[in-house]
Structure 1
């Protein structure tokens, strides 16, 4: 008898939760959807006896606007709650996908893919194995040759400094509780890394463009 895998579905659209739950019920009886949620953590937290508290795998789809930038934090929280994570990733940029993987997500499938891929991803994650849909794998591989790795601190720093709402070095330092010189040192190291990889990012505009190309900025 196949081992039962208990699943929590997280998506802002109830239709996705309902349709995927129904598909799994009809086609993958060894997967049981215990609960659905529109956000994480659920409003009011997890009550004792809540199905979410007993899930083995969380399947994370489209999040609410305020939650979307914190995808890696949500993955970290779900992992801390004892769940493996499958990400449905139609709209997430490469940066968000890589951050989710770094935070512990094991499987990533396009939201538009056949539900059979989601079922396979759930099985893989429940067994502690990685599962990347071919389209996701191809996208990540296509950026790997030019991608310079950034630490978690560096990602947050460049996002604040050069992201959709750019901030001054002083503001970045205050938000991260570090000195302005430390901010400058981090930026210098990022530029050095790009220079070593053969990319000229000597000015702010070229650095911003390369970070965006590599998926570190949305």
Structure 2
């Protein structure tokens, strides 16, 4: 089974009552259009139109939403915007998500990741959870209530971790010892660093 977090600084928040928002949840004000420069975004990665439609329906008025159908598109979005939470399929354009998430979390250790899959791979889930790489692992079809609650709590977790920058290294997972595609990992690292430099100029 998945190892428990080392202490309460990394612990997941308790489940909130679905009838109301969690205490620490700070959505984008509904009276204003979402602003990518002011609020962390929710990035949906993968080809599933159903997932995007559901996320868009649930959060279009309260969250900044971004979409990427490939790893390259995801890297561009991550380089241009502050992304707080990622929702991703287990495979993106035939590339295994675990490689992508491991490298991504090394470069963006505060990023909170939710994985969706129609084919639950328990070994992959346990490895990702134990390495501190994912926040939720949800089996499709995911109910709207579960997805809404998971995303809201993921943003709580992101904001709480962001408020403790001195713990940054604790959120960064060790490089995978079983990297099957070193070129992919190198490409992700190089792309993220190049994008960060470009958009800071």
Q: Could you state the TM-score of these two structures normalised by the residue count of structure 1?
A: 0.48
SS in 2 for 1:113: coil
Post-superposition Cα deviations, 1:49-98, rounded to whole Å, max 9, x if no partner, equal x4xx2221001125335312xx2222223432342111113214112112
User: Structure 1: how far apart are the matches of 2:69 and 2:102?
Assistant: 18
Once the 2 structures are TM-superposed, how far is the Cα of residue 103 of structure 1 from its aligned partner?
A: 4.5
Q: Structure 1: where are the runs of 5+ without partners? A: 130-151, 160-218
User: Structure 2: how far apart are the matches of 1:47 and 1:121?
Assistant: 21
> CA, structure 1 residues 66+103, in 2 after alignment: closer, same or farther (shift >3 Å)?
farther
Counterpart pick for 2:124 among 89, 96, 106:
96
Bigger helix share = 1
Q: Which has the higher contact order (CA 8 A, sep 6+)?
A: 2
> CA, structure 1 residues 44+73, in 2 after alignment: closer, same or farther (shift >3 Å)?
closer
Once the 2 structures are TM-superposed, how far is the Cα of residue 99 of structure 1 from its aligned partner?
A: 2.4
Detail structure 1 runs of 4+ shifted over 4 Å in the superposition: none
8 Å CA contact 1:8, 1:36 repeated in 2: yes
8 Å CA contact 1:89, 1:97 repeated in 2: no
SS in 2 for 1:128: helix
Give the structure 1 partner of residue 57 of structure 2.
22
> CA, structure 1 residues 88+33, in 2 after alignment: closer, same or farther (shift >3 Å)?
farther
For this pair of structures, how many residues does the alignment match?
127
Give the structure 2 partner of residue 35 of structure 1.
66
> CA, structure 1 residues 22+66, in 2 after alignment: closer, same or farther (shift >3 Å)?
same
Q: Structure 2: where are the runs of 5+ without partners? A: 1-22, 28-39, 159-175, 181-201
> CA, structure 1 residues 61+115, in 2 after alignment: closer, same or farther (shift >3 Å)?
farther
